[in-house]
Structure 1
Amino acid sequence: MTQALWKCLLFASGLGMLQSFAILTMPNPLLWSNLILWFGFSNTEIILVYIIDLSIKLLPLVLFQVIFGTYLYQRFCSASVYYFSRCPNRIRWFLKESVKLYLLAVLYPLVMVLTTTLIVNFIKPIDFDQSAFLLLIYYVLIHSLWLFITTTLINVLAIMLDSSAAFVIVVGFQLTSVALLLLWENVWPVVDSPNISLHSLLLKFNPIAHLILTWHSSNINLIKGQINQFNLSFDLNETVIIFACLSVFILFIGSLIVKQKEWIVLNQESGGM
């Protein structure tokens, strides 16, 4: 866990430093809430050029999935027989390691934002508005849960298939979800359409849409004026609940797979034991 923690902090702070250059181009006065919304893919329109830009902005999330996509699975490829012979309760082990993985998923977006904030604040003043603290909580909750869902899924699929196939499947699904957002440009528009309620409901089935904070709505007066880009009923709390339920489901499925797999013959990477 110590090595994984340092790796998480190193990459998160490095990405935070890189992304500070983009924040420095924002006009003064710079609100901290605007900085956080930038990390939450603010001002993303349902137009091809913005969708391409969104794909690029997803790279830090994909990097986390690459780094920790074998966090659980690596036990199956390195002395797995010896390790699991000393660990009789496989489900308890899986849940314990999953909690550690989630803590890494929380630290990753949080450290990125804090690193960028520290660097930018040395160069230009940041107005630390009250709404930013609430937005930061939602940003970290939503993005960390998504990182946990996708990275745990990569690990679980790797147990069943192999790590390369698992990564291609999960990342391919995310990129496909990004591309499918274009359906809401002409096919299911969420602006100037008589069927906005239906189209906004369909939008909620696209997981990438849940990562874009400004597409959401909220009943909290402090933040609702800074989001709700399309005036949709797309509550931030809904996304947190949906992602939390998906996390529990992935943990349940993962526990079943971990419990049933034979450790001795599981090393898919080298074709057997």
Structure 2
Amino acid sequence: MKVLIIEDERHAVRRLEGLIALELPQATITSGLDSIESAVEWLGSEIAPDLIFCDIQLADGLSFEIFEKVKVRSPIIFTTAYDQYAIRAFKLNSIDYLLKPIDPKELILALEKFKEMRVGQALDLAQLKSLLQAELKEYKSRFMVKIGEKIQSVPTEEGAFFFSEERVTFLQHDSGRKFVLDYTLDQLEGLLDPRKFFRLNRKYIASFAAISEIHTYSNSRLKIKLKDCPDNDILVSREKVGALKEWLDG
């Protein structure tokens, strides 16, 4: 069995080679292809492998371009560093996708799916690209705030957390200053990158850096302490605890 790895991170290549060797000891592994250009050249001149592991984001662009430039019949398992907010629908079009760092158990499941897959199943590249682009949409990078008679632009990344108080929404700057915003927290939740900000409860959206302490609380809830925030009773509901832990661990 011939396996091809298209990946531009050497440590990821080494890990994947090791895992594949454990699960498919008879496989011949080809790696060293780290760009769209090198992959297109290889696939255009070599015999098609039985299985391809391909990172989605390569140094010179999205790997989908490879399959637009050269016809590939080999089944593909995509690998990606994107978190739980990205690319959930890949399972409908490819064998599977694996989040990095790759979990050995997830690799085994993907290989089992590969063995059951009919040969020559086509990828819907147009749908995959549209799904990825939708997931990787542009989030708000700055907010216009009023300071006295002046209007100033504040980069989103400088926002420690956002909160609502008496029906007014505030941006708490990482310097400790706070600014009024013309958005509700519900609106902000759709404008902020969910990899960087988490909706703790109905009153707070916080960045990772703003969280200074986490304590267990009654009824399987968590109590959060935010930097420069006088509110000592910021609670995360039991229903959100799992998602918060996953976000913190991402």
Comparing both structures, which one devotes a greater share of its residues to helix?
1
TM-score relative to the length of structure 2: 0.30
Comparing both structures, which one devotes a greater share of its residues to strand?
2
